[in-house]
Structure 1
Amino acid sequence: MSGIVIVGGGQAAASLAARLRTQGYVGAVTILGAEPVAPYQRPPLSKGYLLGEMPIDRLTLRGADWWAANGITLRTGAQVTAIDRSAKRVQVEGGALAYDQLALCTGAAPRRLPAALGGDLAGVFTVRSLADVDAMAPEFRPGRRLVVVGGGYIGLEAAAVARKLGLEVTLIEAAPRILGRVACAETADAIRALHRAHGVTILESTGLRRLTGTGHVSGAELADGRVIEADFAIVGIGVTPETGLAAAAGLTVADGIAVDAQGRTADPAIWAAGDCASFPAAGGRLRLESVGNAIDMAELVADNMLGAGRGYVPKPWFWSDQFDAKLQIAGLNTGHDRVVRRQGEGQSFWYFRAGSLIAVDALNDARAYMVGKRLIEAAKPFTPEQISTAPDLKALLK
């Protein structure tokens, strides 16, 4: 038998392979990862790893001996170039590899500035892979000038690390405010105040005309004509799901590799999980970019490859570390119509839609995050007034 082949070398791939073994699958399992290193955690790259507080051996998801001990073939630096669905083979350097079932865990790639905007200049970085962070790390020296393009979590985390290391930091956001796509104005206000208190210059409603420089970036020219001098730049303007292989093989792509509720593509022998996959949700399709989704969806796909037949019910959670603050997020705030702020150990922001609690942002408030996550998962009816006035949040769990 050809066994199960997993394309991708990140969190979803590692979780799927591990789950197959814990569920008793004894056939061949092969992971084909394009990066030259074993699967590792990505979130700490822009936090502890860039700060030098987390060595590479702590990033790695599994020790080198684990793969062999579990009979999993891990091929790093293995770029898959094509899928032959009729022959059930993937084309990889050195030849073709047959599969009985195939899992696509190809992740996502960072969006880059086009060359016309200076995106091809030396000294312009993105934050997605170990290689990305290793390449930019020498730039993080006290007194250096950094321009960050994009006010999402990646850009803000990079800005926080740079300030902690003594750099001058200017963050440019074209939208009216930072975190415009992912958080309410109240959460954005708190994060903005945190950054400004630590000396980060944040420019909102500020368009970028182009990054300037001859060969190497030297500054950022803004839409209003101002020029911000820079020694290097980090671009954090989102990611795009890696769907090229799937599209070339004739699989449906809809904001990611389209799968059904069980994680199966239009080809019954091919599955997808993690950042690259979109699944049915609330009458449409949803794609989540998070560690939690990568783990949960990959484990579900592994179970369904073995015949479980279960549908995916996501339980979204996210986090972001910036300076001395930890922002923990539970649920999805899409379509919220009211936000309630609560002061506790830290502060928290509770999202409601049509009177129902759908998400919570907890800033330095682990209790609010824990309670909020459980309340959302339980789908119990709580009013905004109950959340804002309850003397003890834990009492709401009873």
Structure 2
Amino acid sequence: MSEKPGIVIVGASLAGLRGAEALRRGGYDGPLTIVGDEPYGPYDRPPLSKHVLAGELRPEATTLPQLYPLRARWRLGHPAIGLDRPGKSIRLADGSVIPFAKLLIATGARARPWPGEGAGLGGIFTIRGRDDATALRQALTAPPKRVLVIGAGLIGCEAASCCRDLGLPVTMVDPNPTPLARVVGTLVGETLAGCMRRAGVDYRPGAKVLSLAGEGGRVRRAHLQDGGAIETDLVIIALGAVRDTAWLAEGGLMADSGGLTCDGTCRALGRDGEPDPDIYAAGDVARWPNPLYGWKPMTVEHWGNAVEQAAHAAGNMLRPEDPQIYTHLPAFWSSQFGINIKAVGLTDGADSVAIVQGSRAGLRFLAVYGRAGRSIAAVSFDQARWLPAYADRILAGAAFPPILDAIDQSRIETMAPGFPGPRPGPAAKLQPRESAHV
């Protein structure tokens, strides 16, 4: 007699692994299958744009530890390409069909490729997976005459920092006024811009690359919107992430390149807006209404969310009669240009920012962001001592700024954060959507 269908997890990265562990820890003893599009088992992505590019860590050393016995069947190297909701099965690229009793979608995201002319040239790289980092590391050791980084989000900034540490000439082009402008605003972003320039980066804010051109099939220059050109023989595309969800949409779920829409308990929604009781999602691919931010639907591409949401979804899969709402305070960290940046909360919609510890001039400070009189986020530059306290205040919806008269606090000045305006429609493809392996 064939084995009864069990739980299938599509996605063999951090969320998939931690979701599988949570199922086993929660008492699930049935069949468990984990499907992954890459030939590798789960590995850690944050080191790829840092230690692997720098040559400090071999790609295979990023393998994630298994924290609990899984007794799982692994199907690696073949992505899922089809979903049969009525028949409760998925189809893989190799033609095989896997039935499921319950399904956890944890497929993450992939790097957004260069969308313009010249996309097929050699010497153009993204950073998302192990193979990406391996190929880029090898190219950096050649070495290139000049590295061009397109996009000044977290990944672009980390890549530029790493390349400067390797002694490589770097030019960075971004349409926004400062690095991380859409994450921290231009007031704080200008501090990072200063660090970049002191590190030797040729930083070009407010600029757009229209096309890439080459010779002999290799990239040789980038043409800018203002008519200028940048000579380069290696380009790093850091324009954010997209999700491969077409197979889910074709299968009747509410999904697009921005994610798979879920309810507050991580159940995937069908096209009719109703939750599927047997399909859940977690990690970068999941778009869910976060009660901490007015039930605003969001995706959170951070390491901590992948771990916590996967465990939460697993718990609801095992106890569908008592589903719990998933609440998450986003948090990330990044090391670049000799600075350790840490953040909690979301700055979306912030109308004010206050430097509550340290100073921007000293490159050590903590900034708190407010919206309508409430604290919603905090960002530290080498000044994380008070960050947990601010996280607690943000969770509590405390007034802005929430901590006054601390022993090491100087005079607090409230300023405008300086977030750029909405992205224009047609050019949006050329602008970075903030994303990170963090």
The TM-score with structure 2 as length reference comes to: 0.84
**What SS class does the counterpart of residue 265 from structure 1 fall into?**
strand
**What SS class does the counterpart of residue 138 from structure 1 fall into?**
helix
Which string of whole-angstrom CA distances, capped at 9 and with x for unpartnered residues, describes residues 273-321 of structure 1?
Answer: 1111111232441111111111111111000000141001012101111
| Contact kept? 1:33, 1:76, Cα under 8 Å | yes
What are structure 1's unaligned runs of at least 5 residues?
Answer: 394-398
- What is aligned with 2:35? 32
- What is aligned with 1:120? 120
Which string of whole-angstrom CA distances, capped at 9 and with x for unpartnered residues, describes residues 35-56 of structure 1?
Answer: 0101111111101121122333
Matching of residue 48 in structure 1 with residue 51 in structure 2: yes
**What SS class does the counterpart of residue 184 from structure 2 fall into?**
coil
Which string of whole-angstrom CA distances, capped at 9 and with x for unpartnered residues, describes residues 325-379 of structure 1?
Answer: 1100100111111100133392111101111111001111120322222222233
Distance 1:235 1:40 in 2: 22
Distance 1:242 1:200 in 2: 33
- What is aligned with 1:139? 139
- What is aligned with 1:296? 308
Matching of residue 334 in structure 1 with residue 348 in structure 2: yes
What is the alpha-carbon root mean square deviation over aligned residues?
A: 1.9
Distance 1:235 1:371 in 2: 36
Deviates more, 1:84-93 or 1:14-23: 84-93
Which string of whole-angstrom CA distances, capped at 9 and with x for unpartnered residues, describes residues 13-46 of structure 1?
Answer: 0110011111111111111000010111111110
Matching of residue 178 in structure 1 with residue 174 in structure 2: no
The TM-score with structure 1 as length reference comes to: 0.92
Residue of structure 2 aligned with 1:351, choices 369, 374, 378: 369
Rate the CA distance shift 1:75–1:288 in 2: closer, same or farther, 3 A.
same
- What is aligned with 2:407? 391
- Structure 2 letter corresponding to 1:301: A
What are structure 2's unaligned runs of at least 5 residues?
Answer: 270-275, 410-438
Question: What displacement does 1:175 show?
Answer: 2.3
- What is aligned with 1:312? 326
- Structure 1 letter corresponding to 2:317: M
Which string of whole-angstrom CA distances, capped at 9 and with x for unpartnered residues, describes residues 177-223 of structure 1?
Answer: 32222112222112111111110111011121211213110111112
Distance 2:6 2:121 in 1: 44
- What is aligned with 2:201? 200
Distance 1:157 1:367 in 2: 23
Distance 1:209 1:85 in 2: 42
Deviates more, 1:159-168 or 1:176-185: 176-185
- Structure 2 letter corresponding to 1:191: L
- Structure 2 letter corresponding to 1:390: A
Rate the CA distance shift 1:360–1:70 in 2: closer, same or farther, 3 A.
same
| Contact kept? 1:187, 1:361, Cα under 8 Å | no
Which string of whole-angstrom CA distances, capped at 9 and with x for unpartnered residues, describes residues 102-138 of structure 1?
Answer: 1111111211123x42122111111111111111112
Residue of structure 2 aligned with 1:22, choices 22, 25, 28: 25
- Structure 2 letter corresponding to 1:232: L
- Structure 2 letter corresponding to 1:280: P
| Contact kept? 1:332, 1:358, Cα under 8 Å | yes
Deviates more, 1:151-160 or 1:184-193: 184-193
| Contact kept? 1:176, 1:205, Cα under 8 Å | yes
Question: What displacement does 1:57 show?
Answer: 4.6
- What is aligned with 1:285? 297
Question: What displacement does 1:89 show?
Answer: 1.1
- What is aligned with 1:274? 283
Deviates more, 1:47-56 or 1:148-157: 47-56
Distance 1:389 1:201 in 2: 40
- What is aligned with 1:160? 161
Deviates more, 1:264-273 or 1:14-23: 264-273
More helix by share: 1
Question: What displacement does 1:80 show?
Answer: 1.4
- Structure 2 letter corresponding to 1:2: P
Matching of residue 361 in structure 1 with residue 375 in structure 2: no
Question: What displacement does 1:143 show?
Answer: 6.3
Indicate the structure whose relative CO is greater, using CA pairs within 8 Å and at least 6 residues apart. Answer: 2
| Contact kept? 1:350, 1:361, Cα under 8 Å | yes
Distance 1:194 1:16 in 2: 39
- Structure 2 letter corresponding to 1:230: T
Total equivalences in the alignment: 387
- Structure 2 letter corresponding to 1:122: G
Distance 1:143 1:347 in 2: 35
Rate the CA distance shift 1:389–1:383 in 2: closer, same or farther, 3 A.
farther
Question: What displacement does 1:62 show?
Answer: 2.3
Which string of whole-angstrom CA distances, capped at 9 and with x for unpartnered residues, describes residues 151-180 of structure 1?
Answer: 111111100000000100000002233222
